[in-house]
Amino acid sequence: MNASKIIYCPRSGLPLLEVSALCSQGWPMLSSIQHSFLHPVYSLDLSHLIARLSKQITDAEQCEWQPPQHERTEMALSISAIMWSCEAITQDSTESTRTKEMAPTLPSWPVTLASAARLLHIAAWWHFASSKRLALPIYHVSDRNENLQWQNFAAFLDAAYSVKEEWETGRKKYETQDEIKRRTDALREIKDENIYKRIDHKKVWNWIDAQIAQSPAYPLGRRETFKTLFLTGDLNPQDWVIDDVDDLCEAIFDLCDQGNEITHFIRTRMNHIRAILNDFYGSFTIVSSGGDSAMPSEDQTSQEKEFFAEFDRKVESLESLPPAPKREHFASLALFLRAQAQHNILVRRFNLFKK
């Protein structure tokens, strides 16, 4: 029998070996032992796996979260190996094949991208800090759960963080509230500083896009619009409204993994863009026509009279009009439009007073 057969890892589903049977009973014998063959990464201890995943995250970030396919597979393999090393995963029998075999699977790239950092944090804490005195929740992979690509892995991480928080709360029960608050404030400040030094907007967008692209509600064109808003919304506020920011926030917080440093950065970024838009639209004042007279009319509101009075005070001290603003002198179009509107009003009031 000269035919060869490929042996797959029963945990990851990756091909491991290509073998040939040399005797007539070779295949039955091989079938009975093939599930004992595992990818070599599963033999590494947890310390090595943590270091491996940490380096892979750094490399992926340097590639702006768009590494080649083989690196994505290796990163997913590290996540799987860490889960097995932490004794926090089971793989159930597959219903589709009606066999007793486990469902070999790895997390999809969007799940890998979203959850790698949080899993790394949990694994490092469990291995080095908790002395493994606590059992982590068990993550079940099964086609019955419709999670063969680990679609609900974020829920496991949320549960694991709850275990971590309960353990740390027990350790801190003798600390005063002031001590806890000082430590929390210091950690928050350090986190903000590290995030703004290390993360750029394009990398963050790639992290977001890989996850929201899984939803049919956000096709490519819609995501390109979101990308422009996320990258330049604070520079071009005249192109957006608050509803646009709300739509992007809804997509991010519905589809992206939460509770990590990147999400913290995203929330800060979106709040910044929202504040810029509020400031931009709040800088406009709607006024009624003042007619051809510089004197206040009875139709003007008190706010409009006060508004024009500020310009009239400037006009009284002017011998001639200042030059009109130029676009190149302003950091953004919004600032230029505001200055242009103010100059136009000043010109009109100046001419009325001279008349």
Of the candidates 9, 169, 32, the one whose C-alpha atom is nearest the C-alpha of residue 91 is 9
**Maximum C-alpha span of the chain:** 111
Mean pLDDT for the stretch of residues 11-37: 73
User: Looking at residue 185, what is its pLDDT?
Assistant: 58
**Does 187 score more than 80 pLDDT?**
no
For 185-202, b/e burial (b = at least 16 CB within 10 A) is eeeeeeeeeebeeebeee
pLDDT tier at 57, thresholds 50, 70, 90: very high
Q: What is the pLDDT of residues 331-350, one digit of tens each?
A: 666 667 778 878 888 888 88
Q: Where are the domains of the chain?
A: 1-38, 42-174, 183-282, 302-354
Mean pLDDT of all residues belonging to the chain = 79
pLDDT tier at 10, thresholds 50, 70, 90: confident
Cα radius of gyration rounded to whole Å, the chain: 30
**Does 191 score more than 90 pLDDT?**
no
8 A C-beta contact, residue 49 and residue 37: no
Q: What is the pLDDT of residues 101-159, one digit of tens each?
A: 556 789 999 999 999 999 999 999 888 775 556 788 999 988 887 888 998 899 899 99
Which position has the higher pLDDT, 259 or 183? 259
In the chain, % of residues over pLDDT 90 = 27
Instruction: Look up tokens 């009624």; give the residue.
Output: 288
Q: What is the pLDDT of residues 288-307, one digit of tens each?
A: 545 555 555 555 566 666 76
- DSSP assignments along 241-253, one per residue: -HHHHHHHHHHHH
8 A C-beta contact, residue 76 and residue 11: no
Which position has the higher pLDDT, 229 or 338? 229
User: Looking at residue 198, what is its pLDDT?
Assistant: 56
User: Looking at residue 172, what is its pLDDT?
Assistant: 60
Q: Alpha-carbon distance 237 to 167, whole Å? A: 45
pLDDT tier at 195, thresholds 50, 70, 90: very low
Helix (H, G, I), strand (E, B) or coil at 326: coil
**Does 81 score more than 80 pLDDT?**
yes
Q: Alpha-carbon distance 93 to 73, whole Å? A: 23
**Does 174 score more than 60 pLDDT?**
no
pLDDT tier at 96, thresholds 50, 70, 90: very low
Of the candidates 59, 186, 45, the one whose C-alpha atom is nearest the C-alpha of residue 128 is 45
- DSSP assignments along 72-109, one per residue: HHHHHHHHHHHHHHTT-EEEPBPTTTTSS-B------H
Residues forming beta bridges with residue 7, ordered by sequence position: 17
pLDDT tier at 182, thresholds 50, 70, 90: low
**Does 273 score more than 80 pLDDT?**
yes
Highest mean pLDDT out of 64-68, 71-75, 277-281: 71-75
Q: Alpha-carbon distance 88 to 160, whole Å? A: 10
Burial class (CB in 10 A: 0-12, 13-18, 19+), 80: buried
Whether the full predicted model's pTM is greater than 0.85, yes or no, is: no
